Chain A
C-alpha cells in the first residue's frame, strides 16, 4: 500500500502535464479511495496489489547492490536469461517505442502463466501503435519519469506496479506477471497479466451434500478468495497474504472477519505462518502440519474443507481461514472436536432433522471406535453379559474357528483397511472390482471357509459403515487408527482396558488446544450457550450468539424473532 500511495503522489505531480486529448483506457488513478470502492474488479486488484506490496516490502528488507536493475536493457535481459537458465517458457519481446522509436524496451513474461492477448492489446499495441496515432503532445525524454508517464497514460492494464530490484522481477515474472523494461531506466514496470489454465469451480468430491451449494474450491487461490468474497460482501472481510516456501513461494492467504475474529488467534496464525522456513508447500496439509498445536495426537486440530459455504460459515463465526495456493483444501482454525462431526448441510436441513443426524454421527463415532473392541472384550472376557440366546448363537459361530476372537478381528479389520486403501488408490475404472472382491470374496468366502465367524464380518461392516458417516476424512482416519489400540486393550484387559483407554483418550482430548482454544469446548470446558450448535442444532432464529471462545469480540449474531403464524394472518386480514 505504501508504494501505491507513493505513486499516487507522483501521478499528482505529473497531472499538470496531462494532455486532455490523450487516449486512455482507464481513469487516472486520482486518489486511492476511488480506486478501492470502484467495482468488483477493483476489489481483487486492490488485494493483489496489496499482496504484491507486502511481498515487496518483505524482500526490500534485504536488497543487495548487485540486485538492483542496471540501466542497460541488454545487460538486464542477459542477466535474466542467465539466471533463469534460458528456460524455454520465458519469452522476451524486444521492441521500440516513442515518436521516432527512440526508446528501446522489452516485455518479459512466462508463457503459460501470462495472458498473451491481454499483453498484446494493453501493453505492446498502445506503446507501439496507439502512441503515434494519438498524436499526443506528450514528449518522452530521458529526463522525465517515463515509467510513471506510461503507467498513467499508455499502459491500459488494471494492475501495474514498479520493481526496483532483480529479485522483485523474478518474483513477479514467475507468478505470471509481465515485466516491462525500458533501456536506460533503473526500474521496471510489473504488469498484472496472471492468467493460467485452472480446473475452474467444480463440485467438491470429498464432502458431498444433498442440499447445499455445489461449488467447490479450486487450485487457484484467487478463485478461492473470490468464492468467499461472493458469500461475504462485507468490507470487514479481510485477506492477508504471505509467501511460504523458499522454492515454491506458495501464496498463503488468511481470510477473516475483522472485528469478529479473535485478535489473539489472528496474531498466532500470522506468527506461525511467518515462522515457517521450508523449501516447499505444495498442499495445505503440509502447512497444517507446520502450524498445528500438537503433533503427537491422533486428532486433527485444523479443520479443512473443499466447500466454500462451510469455510464462509466458519469465518462468520469468527474463525480464520487459511487458503494455500495450489490446493482446493482450505484450512480453518481454531478447529474444535465437534466441528469434525458436523457438516455444512446441518444448517440447510430442518433443525430437528439436523440435530438427529448429528446425534447419529456421534453414535457412529463411538461405534466406529468401539464396536470391534467391545465385541472382543465381551466374547473373550465377559460372556455373562450376553443374553443366553445371543451367547449360544455367537458360540455356535465360533465353533471350529481356528483363531482367537482378537486375531480374527485383527485379520478382518486389516483386510478391510487394505481394501479401503486400494479403493482410493485404484483408477476409477477398476474401482468397482475392489468392492466385488471385498464384499463377495473376502466376506462370504472367509466365513464359508471357517476362517472367521459371520458375527465378526457384521462387526467389521458396522465399523466400516459407521466410520464413513463421519464427514471429515481426517477424523475418520484417526478413529481407524485408535480402533486398533482399543482392540489391543480389549484383548488384554477386557472391558476394563476399554474403559481405561476411553479415560486416557478423553483426558488427552481435554489437553488439546487448537490455536489456544480448548479442543473439546463447548463440552469441556462446558458452556451452556455453546450447546446450541454442538451435538444438536437449534433453529436458525435461536442461534443468536457466535460460539464463545471463537467469536468473542462480536458475540451478537442476529435478532430474528421466532417465526409466528399470527403475524402473517394479521397481514392477510388487512389485505
Chain B
C-alpha cells in the first residue's frame, strides 16, 4: 500500500514537471526541405524552402496556392540568419527533413568550411541530404523553380541525383559526412554535385511553369564541382565526371558508346569495379588505376557479326580504350589544371606506404601533379540482348 501511495503521488507530480518543452505539434512546424546559402554584402543570405503540407498531400484539387514557399533573410552567421527567418515565417523552421543544401557558386569559391560547421553541429539536421553547388548561379535561384512530377522541387533534385547517379554515372551525390571527411583529410579533395537552372528564372518561379507540357524552366543535374580543400576550383565535364566515378568505384550502372565500322554501338556496363593503388619507390609515388567491367550490348547501329568471338574481343578493346580515355581526361584535368587531388591519390599512397606518406604529405600539393599513373583496364561483354544479329 505504501508503494502504491508513493506511486500515485509520483504520477500526480508528473504534470508539475516542466516536461513537454521540446514538444512540437506537426501543425506548428514549417517543414524545411531545402536550404540555399549565398553571400550578400559580406553576410550570409539564407533561403529556406518550406512545404505547404495540405497542398502537397491533399487528394482534392484545392486552391491555387503553391506547394512550397521560400523565405530569405540575411545574418552574420548561418544560425543567426536562420533565426532571422522567423521574422517572415509564421512557424518555426524544422530542419530535420532538409533534402538539399545548396551553395551559391560565390560561397563555394570563398570556402564552405564555416558553413559546414553549423550544418554538422545542429542537432536537428539529419545527415542524409545531398549537398550541391549552383553552377554560375545563386543557390536561391534553384529553390525558386517549380518542377513537374515532384511537387516539392528539392525532392526533385534529391531524386534526380539518386537516379542519375545510379543510371548514367556522370552525377555524384555527396552527403555531409563524406564531404566533411574529404575537406579535412589531407590527400583527398571533395567534389560536389553541380546544379543549375535552365530557362527563364521568372517563369520557373510561377505556377505557369508546371502548367506546360514542355516545362520552360528546369533544374539540371550536370557537372561536378571540384574543390581544393573547401574552395571551388573548377567544374568537371561529363566525361571527366564519369572518369572520376570509375576511379572512386562509384559506378553501379552506366552506358558507353563506341564507334564501329560505319556506326555506333552502345553498351551497358555493370559490375564495374575500379580501384586506386599507390606505391612509393625511392620517394617517388606511383599510382595504378585498375578498372574491370562487364557489359551488355544494348544497341548496335552497324554491320558487325556479333556471333564471332573476335568481334566481341574487338568491342572489348574499344570499351577499354574509351574508358582509359575518360580516366586520362580526369587525371590530366585534376593534375594539370585544377591541381587538386580529387581522385584521392594521396589517400592511396597513404594506405600503401604510411611511412613515405609522412614526408610526402607536406609537399603533396607539389607532388600530386607529377604523379605517374598506370592504367589496367579490362572489359568483357557478356550478353547481346534479345537479338544477336543487327538488322542492317
Contacts and interface: CB of A to CB of B under 8 A. Distances in A.
Interface of A: 296, 379-381, 383-384, 388, 391-401, 404-405, 488, 491-494
A392 B25 contact: no
16 contacts: A380-B24, A381-B22, A383-B26, A384-B96, A388-B33, A388-B97, A391-B31, A394-B26, A395-B29, A396-B53, A396-B55, A404-B25, A405-B25, A491-B20, A493-B19, A494-B23
Interface residues of B, number: 30
**Residue among B3, B14, B20 with most chain A CB within 10 A:** B20
Contacts of A492: 14, 17, 19-20
Contacts of A384: 96-97, 124, 126
Contacts of A296: 3-4
A570 B77 CA distance: 87
Contacts of A394: 26
B169 interface: no
A313 B11 CA distance: 41
A379 B26 CA distance: 6
Given A388-B33, A391-B26, A396-B55, 11 more contacts: A296-B4, A383-B26, A391-B31, A391-B97, A392-B53, A392-B152, A396-B53, A397-B57, A398-B26, A398-B27, A404-B25
- Closest 3 interchain pairs by CB? A384-B96, A396-B57, A396-B53
Nearest to A386: B97
A392 B56 CA distance: 7
Contacts of A388: 31, 33, 97, 99, 155
A380 B23 contact: yes
Contacts of A399: 27, 53-54
Contacts of B386: none
Contact of B26 (A395, A488, A491, A494): A395
B51 to A, nearest CB: 6
Contacts of B392: none
A136 B174 CA distance: 115
Nearest to B126: A384
Contacts of A392: 31, 51, 53, 56-57, 152
A388 B124 CA distance: 14
A380 B29 CA distance: 10
The main secondary structure of chain A at its interface with chain B is helix
B20 A396 contact: no
Interface in B182-221: none
B14 A405 contact: no
Interface string B1-45: 001100000000010010110111111010101000000000000
Nearest to B151: A392
A404 B27 CA distance: 9
Contacts of B155: 388
A396 B126 contact: no
B94 interface: yes
A336 B363 CA distance: 72
Contacts of B99: 388
Given A383-B26, A384-B97, A388-B97, A395 B19 contact: no
Nearest to A390: B57
**Residue among A380, A401, A488 with most chain B CB within 10 A:** A380
Contacts of B4: 296
B3 to A, nearest CB: 8
Contacts of B63: none
Nearest to B4: A296
Contacts of B124: 384
B58 interface: yes
A296 B58 CA distance: 48
A493 B22 CA distance: 9
Contacts of A381: 22-24
Contact of A488 (B14, B27, B31, B56): B14
Contacts of B94: 383
A458 to B, nearest CB: 15
Contact of A396 (B3, B19, B54, B97): B54
Contacts of B3: 296
A404 B26 CA distance: 9
B153 to A, nearest CB: 13
Contacts of B54: 396, 399-400
Interface string B109-124: 0000000000000001
A494 B21 CA distance: 11
A380 B14 contact: no
Contacts of B14: 488, 492
A391 B51 CA distance: 11
Contact of A395 (B20, B23, B27, B96): B27
A393 B51 CA distance: 11
A393 B53 contact: yes
A383 B24 contact: yes
A383 B33 contact: no
Interface in B215-263: none
B188 to A, nearest CB: 30
Nearest to B33: A388
B57 A393 contact: yes
A418 B33 CA distance: 42
Given A388-B155, A491-B20, A492-B19, A380 B25 contact: yes
A139 B233 CA distance: 133
A393 B17 CA distance: 32
Nearest to A377: B23
Contacts of A488: 14
Contacts of B29: 383, 395
Contacts of B97: 383-384, 388, 391
A388 B99 CA distance: 9
A448 B17 CA distance: 36
A392 B25 CA distance: 13
Contacts of B53: 392-393, 395-396, 398-399
A393 B58 CA distance: 8
Interface in B107-164: 124, 126, 152, 155
B56 A383 contact: no
Nearest to A387: B97
B355 to A, nearest CB: 44
A492 B14 CA distance: 8
Nearest to B96: A384
